[in-house]
Amino acid sequence: MAKNYEDLHELDSYQLENSEQDLRGHALYTYDGERLGTVQRMLVDPDRNHVAALVLEDHRFVPVSEIEIRDGDAYIDPVDATGFSKVPKRERNIRRGTVTVNRRT
């Protein structure tokens, strides 16, 4: 069964729990520095109150579980890399995992 996601922008009753996780308008990079595009939309799974995916300007779909937020931009492992570069830890990193939304009251 296909999952129905909703665009965060269109959900007046939701807001991001952490505004630093709002990636709309920010770049998506690989850990080795290749810029993959700009995040246009964030898709919410309303059943779980989580952002499930990002949509880039070229309409590519990126699962949020695959990204890490660093200094306001999103990073993902290179798809075709033979090895991954170790990225130094920076302040205010948000680890891979859940981007939570709260229902507005």
In tens, the pLDDT along 10-44 reads 556 677 888 888 899 999 998 889 998 899 988 88
d(CA 1, CA 9): 25
pLDDT for residue 82: 31
Is a pLDDT exceeding 60 seen at residue 79?
no
The pTM assigned to this predicted structure is 0.67
pLDDT for residue 88: 38
CA atoms within 13 A on the CB side of 78: 13
Whether residue 44 lies inside any domain: the answer is: yes
d(CA 58, CA 36): 10
Whether residue 45 lies inside any domain: the answer is: yes
Domain enclosing residue 90, as ranges: 6-11+20-94
Please tell me the total count of domains within the chain: 1
Domain containing residue 82: CATH number: 3.90.50.10
Enumerate residues 6+ apart whose C-beta is below 8 A from 36.
Answer: 27, 28, 29, 30, 56, 60, 76
Whether residue 55 lies inside any domain: the answer is: yes
pLDDT for residue 65: 84
pLDDT for residue 45: 84
